[in-house]
Structure 1
Amino acid sequence: MHLDLTDLRLFIHIAEAPSLTQGAKRAFMSAAAASVRIKALESQLNTHLLYRDSRGVELTEAGQRLLKHARLIMRQVGYLKTEFDEYGADASGHIRIFANTTAVTEFLPEILAGFLARSPGVTVDLQERMSRDIVRGVLEGSTDLGVIAGPVAATGLQAIHFSTDTLVLVVPKGHPLDSPAPVKLAEALGYHHVGLQAGSTLQEFMTEQAERLGQHLTWRIQVTSFESICRMVEAGVGIGVIPESAARRHIRTMDLSIIPLDEPWSVRERSILVRELQALPGCIRALVNLITTGNAPAVAP
């Protein structure tokens, strides 16, 4: 069997479009030429890869399997090119990161700012994703690395622990829950909550914890940052669950109380997920090293 990289790249474009015409356009070829190549690929693999109709295309089960392998192959080809780039092994490249809400909004921006300042040949695509999508993205090769909090239930991945994320309850001064004693989530569910926008990993996580208790969180308002949550809480709009690091920072300028949560899930291990660290380009290994140890070699041309 001989698989052509052009065919694999074309197949990925079509799968992500998802239409043969749009996929062909992304691959800079005509729809007719793309159709011939896909039919030849199906013939070589002896299976149907796409369902075709007037609305576009849909991947068959075999097509879904090929897409996973194709993404991994093309990403590895990209790594190979990066390793032999004119700048050297770790001076240039593109890094895609899937991360949870806390990572995207709290600590990664500062880390990436310093890293990119020292690495002029590196570009980064940082995307906030749900935990399950982060794991799937690393497994399937649609992202180079993932940053996640909590246990990782996936084989075939390396989980590199780098810190601990503790969730706490923030309430306005004088609130009925304003006490040094830790509280159960069930005690807090009787009050209006201020949270992040729908789709954030933390919002989804807290919704799941409430549902496990057979209850629901009542969202008074959903905002875009932990600072906004704290300002709403200070104003008496509701209470909120946020990382302790964020709460400690904002309590310096806001009249809030931090209440520990008496829940086993409130302490979550932060980890970086990769398929195989040593197989990644030097620029990605340098970033992983920076996140985990606070040190990274200068990546200069």
Structure 2
Amino acid sequence: MHIQLQDLQLFVQIAEAGNLTRGAQRAFLSAPAASARMRALEDQLGAQILYRSNKGISLTKAGETLLHHARLILRQVDFLKDDFAGDDFGGHVRIFANTTAVTEFLPELLADFMAERPQLTVDLQERLTHDILRGIQDGTADLGIFSGEVDAGELEVIRFSTDRLLLATPRGHTLTARPEVRLAETLDYEHIGLHEGSTLLAFLRGLMEKNGYERALRIQVRSFEAMCRLVEAGVGIGVVPESAARRHARTMQLELVRLSDDWALRDRCVALRSRSALPRSARALVEALIQSGVGGDTGT
């Protein structure tokens, strides 16, 4: 049996995309070429690894087994490359992170981190918290960044800062007369939320439903900047991480009100399988997160 690493990489890309054509595009191959290589891989293994249909692909039991081994093999290859990267500190790091991390602090932190490591490549994807943890558990990602208390099982979880949520309102809004409010007290007003798939939206939607918010969100947007602009325009109010809220309040007509709910101040954490087993570049990134203290609560 002579399985090529390129075929394993292609298989993982197809499996994670759930679609042969999209997986082939990620590997810069045509769909027919990718399909031919997958059939050749099946011949090598003597087993069917993909179910193919008009709706896409799914993994057979043998395919699930191969996916597990392929991820381990490719990870070990990454470790090997990392160990021989020299002083350039190269390698590849895969990160799953929540909305706030992806939009607020990781871009700046990664820009500085990668400037010092010109050979390093990073795959950063926005995911929901349960997908972040599952990605670490099954080896899809090296690091997972999330906020709040979760059951991480046997994963190693390192707290590196805090994440406070504030209520953003237009200037002169009724709620700004109070120093702090509970989320339940804001539900008589129209709320603006983030897009579907956002970690923060999923978290807040559960709390809203629990507290009797039965209406649909007034509008959903792709960024905290867009949310704050709509708040400024009087379309509604919104729950925003403090870092984003204070940054946009400097240029927009906003009022920021503290949320008194216990969950409004959340630990920001990075999850991983084992810190000692990470490649050098990923270990260095964890250390950079810890040292930076990004997004920490200001106590205001």
TM-score (normalizing by structure 2)? 0.83
Amino acid at match of 1:70: A
Q: Which residue of 1 aligns with 2:82?
A: 82
Q: Which residue of 1 aligns with 2:298?
A: none
Q: Which residue of 2 aligns with 1:201?
A: 199
Aligned length: 288
CA distance in 2, matches of 1:135, 1:117: 28
Q: Please report how far the alpha carbon of residue 293 of structure 1 lies from its aligned counterpart in structure 2 after TM superposition.
A: 0.7
Deviations 1:120-156 (A, max 9, x none): 1112222211111111111111122111111231223
CA gap of 1:226–1:10, structure 2 versus 1, over 3 A, is closer
Mapped pair 1:175 → 2:179: no
CA gap of 1:30–1:200, structure 2 versus 1, over 3 A, is closer
CA distance in 2, matches of 1:125, 1:50: 25
Contact 1:193–1:217 (8 Å) recurs in 2 = no
CA gap of 1:40–1:267, structure 2 versus 1, over 3 A, is same
Q: Please report how far the alpha carbon of residue 217 of structure 1 lies from its aligned counterpart in structure 2 after TM superposition.
A: 5.3
Q: Please report how far the alpha carbon of residue 39 of structure 1 lies from its aligned counterpart in structure 2 after TM superposition.
A: 4.2
Q: Aligned to 2:45, which of 13, 18, 41? A: 41
Structure 2 segments unaligned to the other structure (5+ residues): 294-300
Contact 2:229–2:252 (8 Å) recurs in 1 = yes
Mapped pair 1:162 → 2:160: yes
Amino acid at match of 1:79: F
Q: Which residue of 2 aligns with 1:70?
A: 70
Structure 1 segments unaligned to the other structure (5+ residues): 296-301
Contact 2:168–2:237 (8 Å) recurs in 1 = yes
Amino acid at match of 1:116: M
Contact 1:150–1:269 (8 Å) recurs in 2 = yes
CA distance in 1, matches of 2:34, 2:211: 55
Q: Which residue of 2 aligns with 1:215?
A: 213
Map 1:31-180; keep pairs closer than 5 Å. 34-42=38-46, 49-52=49-52, 57-85=57-85, 87-88=86-87, 91-180=89-178
Amino acid at match of 1:243: P
